[in-house]
Amino acid sequence: MKVNFFVTCLCDTVKANVAKRTVALLEQLGCDVMFPEAQSCCGQPSVNSGYVESSKPAMKSFIRAFECNDYPIVTPAGSCAAMVKAYPEYLKNEPEWAKRAQAVADRLFELTQFVVRELGVVQLGAKLVGTAVYHPSCSLIRKLGVRDEPLSLLAEVEGLTLLPIDNQETCCGFGGTFSVKMGEISGEMVKEKVRHMSEVTPDYLIGADISCLMNIGGRLHREGKVIKVMHIAEVLTSC
């Protein structure tokens, strides 16, 4: 199967290893990974800041970039996937663009969603010894409805034990520009998340959204917690 890889800004600029591991995972599963070079930011930061109209050129640029073929589009970020899925609504006053947006959105999948639902795979032969807390990001579970897929994949990782925590599905406080605009509230939210994690003393924090992992990981570092932060693509390609 040929698939397009939507790298996202954070993967491209600060977490290149997640991008590499995502491509490696897809290739391991027999996919021929294409990279449309015209791809750019999906517009999520500016939309979250309230600049919807100013964000539309970025949306249209993204649409044009992925109209180069009709293959599935896979991304290792629930928040960016959810943004693209919302394009038709944002562009509803421009019917032609809304139609094009829908066609692209229908082909786009978050990584674990694609592996489990589209490829029908949960056993990847991964191995990671230790205990872990999984953080389900808001975009993944609330906007995309992807709740069980990451857990199904992690359950098959040899040597890994997932630990439940209080308020597991509570937001970590990042929320894109929310963490900047509402810094004090955001800070208290991530403190609470880290407190619940610390109660079970895991070896790893695992998630499927880099932004949330950076937020929680930053708090862990400031508190001197020795918990390794890993994106699920890194876990699933461990051996």
pLDDT in tens, 116-143: 999 999 999 999 999 999 999 999 999 9
Supply the pLDDT for residue 4: 98
pTM score > 0.85 for this model? Answer: yes
**Binning pLDDT at 50, 70 and 90, where does residue 182 land?**
confident
pLDDT at 179: 81
**pLDDT tens figures, 91-112:** 999 999 999 999 999 999 999 9
Is it the case that residue 177 has pLDDT exceeding 90?
Answer: no
| Region 175-204 average pLDDT | 90
The arithmetic mean of pLDDT across residues 20-38, rounded, is 97
Label residue 175 by pLDDT band (50, 70, 90): confident
**Mean pLDDT over the full length of the chain:** 95
Neighbouring CB atoms inside 10 A of 74's CB total 25
Instruction: Label residues 90-116 b or e (16+ Cβ within 10 Å = b).
Output: bbeeeeebbebbbebbebbbbbbbbbb
Per-residue pLDDT averaged across 177-181, rounded? 81
**Can you tell me the distance from the alpha carbon of 8 to that of 81, in angstroms, rounded to the nearest whole number?**
9
- The pLDDT, as a whole number, for residue 180 is 80
pLDDT of residue 133: 98
For 32, half-sphere exposure in the C-beta direction (CA atoms, 13 angstrom radius) is 3
pLDDT of residue 125: 96
Calpha distance 192→168 (Å, rounded): 11
